[in-house]
């Protein structure tokens, strides 16, 4: 039996909150939910019987392939796909974080990011969201032209999991399935060095519109894998442009206030997300999953 649910808009342009009518179970028509997801871009499942232990199964209904693990994050439920969102050092991990599309600088760019709230921060810690479609629409023409002309070049360095007793030395070519990605692995250092060429915009097919989704306005100290960002030609991106893009994003930014057991399902190629800071003594516990490829084509 499929459950009945309420669906309510978050904004005029995007987003919906899905909450139970009476049955709090997760017996959805998953294809219908995915259609909502394509339409709204962000779904907030609220007040359902969701928990840390049912999260992988639930997101799995929408997932053909989970994204590769990020080995800097803490695992949960002994799964390499269910990770703590507030990661990898205690030093900076309560700061605010600038808007970004998850791993948009990387060869694997997830289609969906999921965030689940075990424990909200007492104060702060809101997740920020920015619709890349709206942002693209309000950018000045000269900035649009600049980013239409050529892709961005992300230079990245990835620490690979340590392998013992490596016999080979030197560099090995890194062949990926992604256009615009080239690089090599330094076998001795166990590091991958990649150059990723990717346009600042992504074409959202069902809207026939571009979304401005990338890593240009994120705080780079929060992403140590990125060593440099320029345009494909090598030219530096003008600071003035970055400043304007930030200002424009602030005009349309949305703050999600977490409630225990909230689940956010975010179209990562249309939306950028970030985070407001929270207090040090806060016991916030947010979990994340990344869907590399979704299970449905709608």
Would you say 86 or 102 has its CB closer to Fe ion?
102
Which 102-141 residues touch Fe ion, going by CB under 5 A?
Answer: 102
**If we measure between CA atoms, which residue out of 95, 65, 66 comes closest to residue 83?**
66
What is the enclosing helix (H) or strand (E) of 249? helix 239-252
**Residue 262 within binding range of Fe ion, rule CB under 5 A:** no
Is the distance from CB of 185 to CB of 191 less than 8 angstroms?
yes
> Per-residue string for binding with Fe ion, 56-95, x by CB under 5 A?
----------------------------------------
| # of chain residues touching Fe ion (CB under 5 A) | 1
In whole angstroms, the minimum distance from the beta carbon of 113 to Fe ion comes to 7
Distance CA 216, CA 27 (A): 39
Would you say 248 or 273 has its CB closer to Fe ion?
273
User: Which spans in 126-238 are helix H?
Assistant: 132-138, 141-149
**If we measure between CA atoms, which residue out of 39, 31, 10, 15 comes closest to residue 207?**
39
Which 37-56 residues touch Fe ion, going by CB under 5 A?
Answer: none
- Judge residue 217's burial from the number of C-beta atoms within 10 Å of its C-beta, 0-12 exposed, 13-18 middle, 19 or more buried: buried
Distance CA 5, CA 292 (A): 27
In whole angstroms, the minimum distance from the beta carbon of 180 to Fe ion comes to 22
Would you say 102 or 267 has its CB closer to Fe ion?
102
Would you say 102 or 292 has its CB closer to Fe ion?
102
- Could you give the count of Cα atoms lying within 13 Å of 237 in the half-sphere of its Cβ? 25
Per CB under 5 A, the segment of 27-35, 101-109, 121-129, 161-169 that binds Fe ion is: 101-109
Per CB under 5 A, the segment of 6-14, 28-36, 64-72, 96-104 that binds Fe ion is: 96-104
Would you say 70 or 102 has its CB closer to Fe ion?
102
Distance CA 210, CA 207 (A): 8
In whole angstroms, the minimum distance from the beta carbon of 217 to Fe ion comes to 13
The residue ranges that bind Fe ion (CB under 5 A) are 102
């Amino acid at each position: 039996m499929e459950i009945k649910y309420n669906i309510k808009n978050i904004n005029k342009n995007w987003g919906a909150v899905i909450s139970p009518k009476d049955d709090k179970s997760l017996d959805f028509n998953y294809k219908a939910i995915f259609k909502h997801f394509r339409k709204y871009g962000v779904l907030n499942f609220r007040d359902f019987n969701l928990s840390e232990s049912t999260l992988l199964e639930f997101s799995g209904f929408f997932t053909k392939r989970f994204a590769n693990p990020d080995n800097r994050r803490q695992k949960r439920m002994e799964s390499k796909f269910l990770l703590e969102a507030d990661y990898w050092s205690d030093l900076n991990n309560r700061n605010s974080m600038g808007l970004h599309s998850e791993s948009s600088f990387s060869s694997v760019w997830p289609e969906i990011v999921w965030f689940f709230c075990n424990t909200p921060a007492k104060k702060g810690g809101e997740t920020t969201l920015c619709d890349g479609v709206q942002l693209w629409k309000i950018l000045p023409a000269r900035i649009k032209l600049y980013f239409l002309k050529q892709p961005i070049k992300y230079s990245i360095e990835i620490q690979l999991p340590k392998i013992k007793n490596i016999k080979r030395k030197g560099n090995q070519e890194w062949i990926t399935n992604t256009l615009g990605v080239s690089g090599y692995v330094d076998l001795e250092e166990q590091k991958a060095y990649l150059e990723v060429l990717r346009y600042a915009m992504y074409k959202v097919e069902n809207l026939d519109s571009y979304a401005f989704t990338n890593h240009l306005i994120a705080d780079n100290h929060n992403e140590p894998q990125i060593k440099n960002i320029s345009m494909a030609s090598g030219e530096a991106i003008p600071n003035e442009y970055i400043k304007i893009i930030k200002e424009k994003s602030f005009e349309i930014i949305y703050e999600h206030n977490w409630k225990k057991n909230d689940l956010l399902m975010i179209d990562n190629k249309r939306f950028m997300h970030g985070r407001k800071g929270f207090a040090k003594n806060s016991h916030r516990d947010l979990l994340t999953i990344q869907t590399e490829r979704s299970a449905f084509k709608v």
